[in-house]
Amino acid sequence: MAEKSFKYVIVGGGVAAGYAAREFAKQGVKPGELAVISKEAVAPYERPALSKAYLFPEGTARLPGFHVCVGSGGERLLPEWYAEKGISLILSTEIVKADLSSKTLASAAGETFKYQILIIATGSTVIKLSDFGVQGADAKNIFYLREIDDADKLVEAIKAKKNLKAVVVGGGYIGLELSAALRVNNIDATMVYPEPWCMPRLFTAGIAAFYEGYYANKGVKIIKGTVAVGFGTNENGEVTDVKLKDGRVLEADIVVVGVGGKPLATLFKGQVEEEKGGIKTDAFFKTSVPDVYAVGDVATFPLKLYGELRRVEHVDHARKSAEQAVKAIFASEQGKSVDEYDYLPFFYSRAFDLSWQFYGDNVGETVLFGDSSPTSTTHKFGSYWIKDGKVVGAFLESGQDLLCFLGNKVILLDDFYIVCREESNGLILSFWVF
């Protein structure tokens, strides 16, 4: 098969790839110079839509509605946009071999791609229960959610039968967003997770108490402190029940699993330096291999604010890291430089009519404020994290604007004002919340 050659290749066609392509266009990439190679069949889109409006029975989101860059209020990049810019959008093409020394990629179908500069934007994949040898974990109607094909299969199952019973395994992002989406579809939903409260990687017990109460009021049943250890199946190989470690057995027509993600770095194993499970980069997303960059979920980069290497699995960083890498590539070609990536982590989630946002780091002491009663019709609350006398993280549910100057004096959380008076040594003397 013929070999194709490009100046720049992006492997992966998700959020980071889409935002990188836009930045390439802004920087004046010439027709024929850039290729985006994706195993998905569609142009880059805003992945967060898959666990939200994509699953709703009304106001349903469908492509081309949520191609990048609409999620950040930007232009929607349809396949025609890539064609107009002379960017080769090579879809339904999985790269199965990468040889960084000869700058060559090979696809599952046997094509060869050469590049001068490579951007790795392969994102994450789901951790599967079959990875832990959970019995019956590959039964039919057990779903994971990462790509649009996964969402389509779930939508089909939701529509196939009435009065479905669903079990959601995992109490993190997927668990919380999917159990809400299932309830919105009027499906009987039970969430199961091992921790004492949901989303322990971010929520405090106080924050989680609101969501657990709110979900219970919406009819989501919650079982904590145990895990799924097996699945029963019928003669068609379809899941019928979920066996829990504590001995309980839950009936299930469908199961949605969200037990975490892992970065997709396997193609490059042994060829590039890794750190914390991801591909190690500098502040310009350059890897240890010349002319190879890594962005989005797969990159472990220096988080300047905290003075350590981190991986961030959220959409805001996917967008910004991609833009930073492309700016750095063009600057270095012109013998110039760009500022180091100085990222303030930002995550958000939406489920039911709830919406939260978080900035910073969730370490240290926490203070919960506002109305966090799950039964209140006027609920609106937040939390902030304090470490070494400084506000390092801020969370807000049901507000509009969360403006943070972490490490500075004032954080404005919608109509809550937290005033932190700082001494010259950085210690906060007092707070007022009003």
292: its two tokens: 């190879």
- CA dist 185 and 170 (Å) reads 19
- CA dist 35 and 87 (Å) reads 6
**Near ligand NAD by CB under 6 A: residue from 150, 195, 282, 414:** 195
- For 71, 81, 82, 328, 378, the CA distances from 68, given in Å and listed in that order, are 7, 11, 12, 21, 34
238: its two tokens: 């379809």
Site string for ligand NAD, 237-266 (x = CB under 6 A): ---------------------xxxx-----
Q: Does 349 interact with ligand NAD (rule: CB under 6 A)? A: yes
Q: Does 147 interact with ligand FDA (rule: CB under 6 A)? A: yes
Least gap, CB of 329 to ligand NAD (angstroms): 26
- CA dist 280 and 278 (Å) reads 6
Q: Which long-range contacts (CB under 8 A, 24 or more apart) does 234-243 make?
A: 236/140, 237/139, 237/140, 238/139, 238/140, 238/141, 239/136, 239/139, 239/140, 239/141, 239/142, 242/167, 242/169, 242/192, 243/135
With respect to ligand FDA, which residue has the nearer C-beta, 47 or 327? 47
The piece of 194-202, 268-276, 288-296, 361-369 that touches ligand NAD (CB under 6 A) is 194-202
Q: Does 21 interact with ligand FDA (rule: CB under 6 A)? A: no
- CA dist 285 and 322 (Å) reads 8
The piece of 35-43, 194-202, 272-280, 303-311 that touches ligand FDA (CB under 6 A) is 35-43
**Cβ atoms of 361 and 407 closer than 8 Å:** no
CB atoms under 10 Å from CB of 431, counted, come to 16
**Near ligand NAD by CB under 6 A: residue from 231, 284, 347, 385:** 347
With respect to ligand FDA, which residue has the nearer C-beta, 346 or 431? 346
Site for ligand NAD in 298-317 (CB under 6 A): 313-314
- The closest residue (CB) to ligand FDA is 14
Q: Does 360 interact with ligand FDA (rule: CB under 6 A)? A: no
With respect to ligand FDA, which residue has the nearer C-beta, 51 or 300? 51
**Cβ atoms of 149 and 42 closer than 8 Å:** no
The DSSP call for residue 161 is -
With respect to ligand NAD, which residue has the nearer C-beta, 215 or 347? 347
Least gap, CB of 222 to ligand NAD (angstroms): 12
Least gap, CB of 171 to ligand FDA (angstroms): 15
With respect to ligand NAD, which residue has the nearer C-beta, 175 or 382? 175
Beta-strand relationship, 112-120 and 3-11: parallel
Count of residues in the chain: 434
**Near ligand FDA by CB under 6 A: residue from 22, 24, 47, 193:** 47
* Residue 123, contacted partner among ligand NAD, ligand FDA, none, CB below 5-8 A by kind: ligand FDA
Q: Does 170 interact with ligand FDA (rule: CB under 6 A)? A: no
Site string for ligand NAD, 37-56 (x = CB under 6 A): --------------x-----
Best CA proximity match to 21, nearest among 4, 31, 36: 36
Best CA proximity match to 177, nearest among 352, 390, 320, 429: 352
* Residue 267, contacted partner among ligand FDA, ligand NAD, none, CB below 5-8 A by kind: ligand FDA
- CA dist 41 and 38 (Å) reads 7
Q: Does 349 interact with ligand FDA (rule: CB under 6 A)? A: yes
Edge-to-edge strand list for the sheet holding 390-397 = 346-351, 354-360, 390-397, 380-387, 365-371
Q: Name the residues that contact ligand NAD, by CB under 6 A.
A: 51, 124, 169-175, 177, 192-195, 201, 227-228, 258-261, 313-314, 347, 349
Q: Name the residues that contact ligand FDA, by CB under 6 A.
A: 11-17, 37-40, 47-48, 50-51, 94-95, 121-124, 145-147, 264, 267, 296-298, 313-316, 318, 347-349
